[in-house]
Amino acid sequence: MHRAKMMVMLPLLAACQSMPPVSAAKQDLARIRTEIALQYLQAGQLDLAMQQTQMALDADPNHAKAIGVMARVYQSDGSVANLEKARQLYQKALAMDGTDMALHHQYAMFLTAQKEYQAAIEHFGIAGEHIGYADRVIALENLAYLKVEQVRMLPTDAHYQAAVLAIDRAISAGSQLGDQMHQTLSAYWLSTHQSH
């Protein structure tokens, strides 16, 4: 019986080994096409951005950054169907490369726009914890902003303390918005506790 299982497994293993890895040249092509797609996206040229991401994925189907940029293209369109495609692509890209802090940050921005604040907090937190990530301070500011919003929506002591900690963390990372966020938090907190 063990031998029969091995006979079934051998062709599967051979098939996996026969799939050629993506060459360095194709990886470079995917990276370059992804960078071009990002430039088109930033210029608001969604169709050209989509074409470039598709060419990147034709070169390397597992290029997580290209999948992430494609998610941003769909997100930028804003239609319900394309927002769902964006969500699926962000999740796929993160499953492929969970160490890409820019992907976590972009997905958190997407989740914030969808008013899925708790999930956004999680992904901003991941990006904000990664010392060395270029937009770490921005991720921490966004995290603090959402924590302040939690106080506005549900002013509990726990939410207030979490917001204070998030703001202080953003400040210690270099944020220049700390005073403004503390003032906003205090205003929310006072407005809900004056009647008590």
pLDDT-derived band at 10 (thresholds 50, 70, 90) equals very low
**Neighbouring residues of 97: CB distance < 8 A, sequence distance ≥ 6:** 64, 65, 103
In the DSSP assignment, the letter for residue 126 is: H
**Domains plus CATH for the chain?**
26-98 (1.25.40.10), 117-195 (no CATH)
Rounded Cα distance, 114 and 116, in Å? 5
DSSP-derived secondary structure for 72-107: HHHHHH--HHHHHHHHHHHHHHHHH-TT-HHHHHHH
Rounded Cα distance, 70 and 46, in Å? 10
* Residue owning tokens 């239609």: 79
Q: Please, are residues 147 and 166 in contact by the beta-carbon 8 Å criterion?
A: yes
pTM, to two decimals? 0.83
pLDDT digits (tens, 9 = 90+) for 107-158: 999 999 999 999 999 999 999 999 999 999 999 999 999 999 999 899 999 9
pLDDT digits (tens, 9 = 90+) for 21-68: 779 999 999 999 999 999 999 999 999 999 999 999 999 999 999 999
